[in-house]
């Protein structure tokens, strides 16, 4: 059982689902996100699930893509509830579209939040975790961090970067007595996915339409079960498990399949 979990992006979707499960195990939980109204309403929902009166829930508003804000938010959580024995970096955004049409600021913002926001949160929490010589850090990547996806040119690279960070950091944390996991969720029914569907090119919709979709709760359960077992690579659902193990091998096949979908759609649109 964890004593204090800090969850970036804990006000919504996968982060909120993990917070919900952790609260029910008796943990203190700090959630970090930008929108205070969403934070307040999630905090109220979590308060109702507390298993004992000692339990505390902190809702901290910060934009983790800015180092000063990320550091201040994590410092506040540590001052009030102690060093985290669990840090989950779930804050993220996705804005699909055609590479040629998307403005540069979308690419920059996506990398700033998904990659640097993850890195800043870890940098800010790590000194106290190292001091305690215990704790687990969980980075949320994506299936789009394993294979590049049509229409996801801002998002996929940011999630590849998160994978690189987890894999290169793993050994350093091990020597410090800490654990790390990286999660590759499939499409998950959250507000982010609903927002993505607004800007997804039709080709991307066709490519992803047959993919498995999980609920945020299902993903959260798989994550918690895996981190209790100290699993490094977490792949919720069968499709992500297969993709993780086979992606290098089947990449040419997947590219051929995706290209054939794009070509078919273009032909239909021409007639
Ligand atoms: N849903 C999927 O299909 C899916 C699939 C694979 C991976 N993922 C990944 O899973 C993670 C969670 O996604 P989700 O679907 O649960 O999304 P979500 O419901 O939109 O939640 C995202 C959370 O991140 C917070 N956030 C976004 N930008 C932030 C920033 N700059 N600073 C602090 N907090 C920020 C949001 O709150 P505010 O907006 O108030 O800041 C919200 O709490 C993301 O990293 C996402 O890329 C999602």
Task: Report DSSP state, residue 30.
Answer: E
C-beta neighbour count of 19 within 10 angstroms: 29
Which atom of ligand 1 is nearest the CA belonging to 34? 41
Distance (Å, rounded) from C-alpha 68 to C-alpha 118? 14
Which atom of ligand 1 is nearest the CA belonging to 61? 33
159 in active site? yes
CB within 8 Å of 129: residues ≥ 6 apart = 83, 84, 85, 87, 135, 137, 176, 178
The residue whose CA has the least distance to atom 25 of ligand 1 is 9
Q: What is the model's pLDDT at position 171?
A: 95
The residue whose CA has the least distance to atom 33 of ligand 1 is 33
Whether residue 250 has pLDDT greater than 80: yes
Q: pLDDT tens digit string along 146-182?
A: 999 999 999 999 999 999 999 999 999 999 999 999 9
> Any residues with Cβ below 6 Å from ligand 1, and which?
8-9, 11-15, 32-35, 38, 63-65, 90-94, 113, 117, 140, 142, 185, 187-188, 190-193
Q: pLDDT tens digit string along 74-98?
A: 999 999 999 999 999 999 999 999 9
Q: 91, 183, 204, 205: which to mutate for ligand 1, most atoms within 8 A of CB?
A: 91
Counting other chains too, the contacts that 105-112 makes at CB distance below 8 Å and 24 or more residues apart are 106/154, 107/153, 107/154, 109/65, 110/154, 110/155, 110/158, 111/154, 111/157, 111/158, 111/161, 112/65
Superfamily of domain 4-270: NAD(P)-binding Rossmann-like Domain (3.40.50.720)
Distance (Å, rounded) from C-alpha 152 to C-alpha 196? 10
Distance (Å, rounded) from C-alpha 237 to C-alpha 241? 6
Please tell me the distance between residue 253's alpha carbon and the centre of ligand 1 in angstroms.
Answer: 30
Please tell me the distance between residue 265's alpha carbon and the centre of ligand 1 in angstroms.
Answer: 30
Q: pLDDT tens digit string along 204-242?
A: 999 998 888 999 999 999 999 999 999 999 999 999 999
Q: What is the model's pLDDT at position 269?
A: 78
Whether residue 15 has pLDDT greater than 90: yes
Please tell me the distance between residue 15's alpha carbon and the centre of ligand 1 in angstroms.
Answer: 7
C-beta neighbour count of 268 within 10 angstroms: 9
Q: Counting Cβ atoms within 10 Å, is residue 198 exposed (0-12), middle (13-18) or buried (19+)?
A: exposed
Please tell me the distance between residue 53's alpha carbon and the centre of ligand 1 in angstroms.
Answer: 29
CB burial of 232-259 (b: ≥16 within 10 Å; e: otherwise) equals ebbbbbebbeebeeeeeeeeeebeeebe
Per-residue pLDDT band for 271 (boundaries 50, 70, 90) equals low
**Which residue of the set 141, 142, 158, 181 is catalytic?**
141
CB within 8 Å of 174: residues ≥ 6 apart = none
155 in active site? yes
Which atom of ligand 1 is nearest the CA belonging to 143? 6
C-beta neighbour count of 105 within 10 angstroms: 10
Q: pLDDT tens digit string along 182-212?
A: 999 999 999 999 999 999 999 999 999 888 8
Whether residue 270 has pLDDT greater than 80: no
Q: What is the model's pLDDT at position 42?
A: 98
Q: What is the model's pLDDT at position 266?
A: 83
C-beta neighbour count of 127 within 10 angstroms: 12
Q: Strand pairing partners for 213? A: 187
Pairing status of strand 179-183 against strand 28-33: unpaired
Per-residue pLDDT band for 265 (boundaries 50, 70, 90) equals confident
CB 259 within 8 A of CB 252: no
Residue with tokens 């506040």: 76
Whether residue 12 has pLDDT greater than 80: yes
Per-residue pLDDT band for 268 (boundaries 50, 70, 90) equals confident
Give whole-number Cα distances, 271 to 33, 261, 265, in Å: 47, 16, 10
Please tell me the distance between residue 65's alpha carbon and the centre of ligand 1 in angstroms.
Answer: 12
């Amino acid at each position: 059982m964890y004593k204090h979990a800090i969850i970036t992006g804990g006000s919504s979707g996968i982060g909120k689902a993990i917070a919900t499960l952790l609260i029910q195990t008796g943990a203190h939980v700090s959630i970090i996100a930008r929108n205070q109204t969403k934070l307040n309403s999630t905090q109220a929902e979590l308060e109702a699930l507390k298993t004992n009166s000692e339990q505390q829930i902190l809702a901290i508003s910060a934009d983790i893509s800015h180092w000063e804000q990320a550091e201040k938010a994590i410092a506040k959580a540590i001052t009030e509830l102690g060093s985290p024995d669990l840090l989950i970096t779930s804050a993220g955004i996705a804005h699909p579209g055609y590479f040629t049409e998307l403005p540069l600021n979308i690419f920059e913002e996506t990398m700033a939040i998904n990659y640097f926001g993850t890195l800043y949160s870890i940098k800010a929490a790590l000194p106290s975790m190292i001091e305690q010589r215990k704790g687990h850090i969980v980075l949320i990547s994506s299936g789009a961090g394993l294979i590049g996806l049509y229409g996801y040119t801002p998002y996929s690279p940011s999630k590849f970067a998160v994978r690189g960070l987890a894999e290169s950091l793993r050994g350093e944390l091990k020597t410090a007595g800490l654990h790390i996991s990286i999660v590759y969720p499939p499409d998950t029914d959250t507000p982010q996915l609903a927002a993505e569907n607004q800007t997804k090119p039709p080709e991307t919709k066709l490519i992803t339409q047959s993919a498995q979709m999980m609920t945020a709760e299902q993903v959260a359960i798989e994550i918690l079960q895996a981190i209790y077992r100290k699993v490094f690579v977490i792949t919720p659902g069968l499709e992500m498990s297969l993709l993780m193990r086979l992606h290098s091998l089947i990449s040419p096949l997947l590219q051929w399949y995706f290209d054939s979908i794009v070509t078919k759609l273009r032909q239909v649109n021409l007639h």
